[in-house]
Amino acid sequence: MGWAALSELVPYYPLYALLFLDTGLSGAQISALFAIWSVTGFVAEVPSGALADRWSRRGVVVLASVLQAVAFVVWTAAPELWAFAVGFVIWGVAGAMVSGASEALVYDGLAAVGAEAGYVRVNGAMTAAELLVQIPTALAAGALFAVGGYAAVGWASVGTCLAAAALALRFPEAPRRAPGDGDSLAGTLRQGIAEAVHRPGLRLRVLAVALIGGLDAVEEYFPVLAGEWGVPTTAVPVAVLVIALAGAAGAALGGRADRLRSGVLLTVLAVAGLLLAGAALWARPAALAAVALFYALYLGVLVVAEARLQARIAGAHRATITSVAGLGIELASLLVFAAWALGGPLAVAVLVVAVVPVVRAGLRTRSPV
């Protein structure tokens, strides 16, 4: 949990979009940078999971933090378009590397001491920590910028990433059975993908995590909602922070939600969608309270779905299979962007409700493999 918080305590996060603007980049150039970042993540997601399975989950997590530090070194040393593009490629690879490896590392570490049932609580706590750390991150970013501008923010971000790498070095890595197919990374990749796609029970849980996880893309629009619904610009960050805090509370309660049957969890997800729909129709500042409750309920269900996926995976390809789900999340998030473009928050709410029957089987109470 400490590593999860530290890895998000990066002063660049609240300010990098402003850095691009202040450097003189156009809207089209900034969009191109984000596209480079996304495409890199798509391409690297599953191969990086196979690398973690073939080599070391801990090693991949450490390397990811080091690579992110390198990306920020490039940005800070040469704040111009080409450096931002290079940095986003490196950061995209780093983000892909950590997504599958970290979950596999934590789950197998708990399983090694017979505590795998506690993964849902740990996962919820990590998700909550990642949201709560937005508060000190914003404060640190503002203070650093006031003292030394973007350079101070950049070098502090490099230091934070290296500190996260050092902390990750202390993670215990449980002994595990080596993957088959000799020493071939390609073989590990192929076997992991095949397992995720062709094992019926596992395939359904991968699909459930992908579809539910993709809905989290709606978070990108929370500031937009606050602004459009009449919240003063100066108060928008506070409004968004309240929603994030509600989400943290929902994630932290994921351990209790894991006791619920799939039917109840599906009802919770449907209620979350209805709350978002009601907020979209109301469209007033007070409607953000319904958005906050939506986010809390939604993240509670997501934490449970991720835990039940990990409980279903067996064998040496945990990080690869988790990365397949991660790639599915990235693809499913495109549905959120499309829904928003077509009908705003109401269309996204319809999408949330529409996901419910599709993920029913994937949310079944955890069962032995």
pLDDT in tens, 28-40: 898 899 889 999 9
**Euclidean distance between CA atoms 41 and 44, whole angstroms:** 5
**pLDDT tens column, 74-129:** 999 999 999 999 999 999 999 999 989 999 999 999 998 999 999 999 999 999 99
Claim to verify: residue 201 and residue 141 sit in the same structural domain: no
Residue that terminates a domain, selected from 176, 202, 231: 176
Claim to verify: residue 165 and residue 201 sit in the same structural domain: no
Q: What is the pLDDT of residue 315?
A: 80
Phi-psi region of 190 (alpha: psi -120 to 50; beta: other; left: phi over 0): alpha
Residue 39's domain is classified under what CATH number? 1.20.1250.20
Residue that terminates a domain, selected from 150, 176, 202: 176
Claim to verify: residue 275 and residue 323 sit in the same structural domain: yes
Rounded to 10 deg, the angle between the 262-282 and 318-358 helix axes is 70
Q: What is the pLDDT of residue 179?
A: 52
31-56: average pLDDT: 93
Claim to verify: residue 290 and residue 341 sit in the same structural domain: yes
In a domain, 286, yes or no: yes
pLDDT for 276 beyond 70: yes
pLDDT for 144 beyond 60: yes
Number of domains in the chain: 2
In a domain, 181, yes or no: no
Residue pair 287/229 in contact (Cβ under 8 Å)? The answer is yes
Claim to verify: residue 250 and residue 337 sit in the same structural domain: yes
Range of the domain at 51: 2-176
The pLDDT-based confidence of 369 (bands split at 50, 70, 90) is: very low
Claim to verify: residue 124 and residue 167 sit in the same structural domain: yes
In a domain, 368, yes or no: no
The pLDDT-based confidence of 367 (bands split at 50, 70, 90) is: very low
Q: What is the pLDDT of residue 235?
A: 87
pLDDT for 176 beyond 90: no
Claim to verify: residue 165 and residue 259 sit in the same structural domain: no
More confident residue, 174 or 109: 109
More confident residue, 365 or 213: 213
**Euclidean distance between CA atoms 334 and 277, whole angstroms:** 19
Q: Is 142 helix (H, G, I), strand (E, B) or coil?
A: helix
The pLDDT-based confidence of 178 (bands split at 50, 70, 90) is: low
Claim to verify: residue 51 and residue 126 sit in the same structural domain: yes
Q: Which structure tokens are listed for 49?
A: 């999971």
In a domain, 311, yes or no: yes
pLDDT for 183 beyond 60: no
In a domain, 183, yes or no: no
266-295: average pLDDT: 97
Helices (H) and strands (E) in the chain, counts: 15, 0
**Euclidean distance between CA atoms 238 and 225, whole angstroms:** 13
pLDDT for 366 beyond 60: no
